[in-house]
């Protein structure tokens, strides 16, 4: 399991009920509370501990996502890896936010989408994904060198630990 990018600024400024329209089933305050919860989850790096049943039930009905067998399947698909997190954020960024806010949560979707696009989070996750790939490739190279007699077993850790290009993995 990978660690997500922390980005607390995604939650600022705080959402306000005045910016959202109530639906027949949900008040503007409910939209704010759930919108804040979604932003908080993303801002904390999408941790497993933060993926609650209410978040699953709401997010699986937004941004064109579909419900999985259960919330654990949804988490595994979208948050268990950096590649999954990138795909999750890209789906949010590319979603057109259909519908009238009096009937659906399109106003909340638009706000979350705008914040994800403005934040640079997708680029940060892509950089993290590149770094993880490079590290995995160095580890595989070291194992292959040992396997084929091109290096000693002690060289395995030295080759794998060789640093790649420096990159920032969290945004503040």
**pLDDT band (50, 70, 90) for residue 69:** confident
Residue 27's domain spans which residues?
8-120
Asked if the structure places residue 166 within a domain, the reply is no
Asked if the structure places residue 167 within a domain, the reply is no
Rounded distance, CA 122 to CA 6, Å? 12
Asked if the structure places residue 28 within a domain, the reply is yes
The predicted-structure confidence for 110-160, as pLDDT tens digits, reads as follows 999 999 999 999 999 999 999 999 999 999 999 999 899 888 766 656 555
- Give, to the nearest 10 degrees, the angle between helix 82-94 and helix 106-119: 120
Question: Do residues 107 and 129 both lie within one domain?
Answer: no
Question: Do residues 29 and 105 both lie within one domain?
Answer: yes
Average pLDDT over residues 42-56: 97
Asked if the structure places residue 103 within a domain, the reply is yes
Structure pTM? 0.86
Asked if the structure places residue 135 within a domain, the reply is yes
Question: Do residues 113 and 132 both lie within one domain?
Answer: no
Asked if the structure places residue 168 within a domain, the reply is no
- Give, to the nearest 10 degrees, the angle between helix 153-161 and helix 121-147: 160
Asked if the structure places residue 2 within a domain, the reply is no
Question: Do residues 101 and 141 both lie within one domain?
Answer: no
């Amino acid at each position: 399991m990978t660690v997500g990018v922390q980005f607390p600024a995604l939650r600022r400024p705080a959402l306000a009920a005045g910016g959202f329209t109530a639906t027949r089933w949900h008040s503007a305050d409910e939209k704010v509370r759930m919108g804040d919860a979604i932003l908080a989850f993303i801002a904390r790096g999408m941790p497993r501990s933060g993926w609650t049943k209410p978040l699953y039930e709401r997010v699986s009905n937004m941004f064109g996502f579909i419900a999985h067998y259960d919330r654990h399947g949804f988490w595994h698909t979208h948050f268990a890896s950096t590649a999954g997190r990138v795909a999750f954020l890209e789906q949010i960024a590319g979603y057109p936010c259909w519908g009238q806010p009096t009937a659906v949560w399109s106003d909340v979707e638009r706000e979350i989408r705008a914040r994800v696009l403005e934040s640079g989070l997708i680029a940060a996750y892509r950089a993290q994904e590149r770094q993880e790939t490079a590290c995995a490739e160095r580890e595989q190279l070291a194992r292959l060198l040992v396997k084929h007699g091109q290096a000693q077993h002690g060289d395995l850790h030295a080759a794998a630990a060789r640093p790649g290009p420096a990159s920032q993995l969290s945004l503040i």
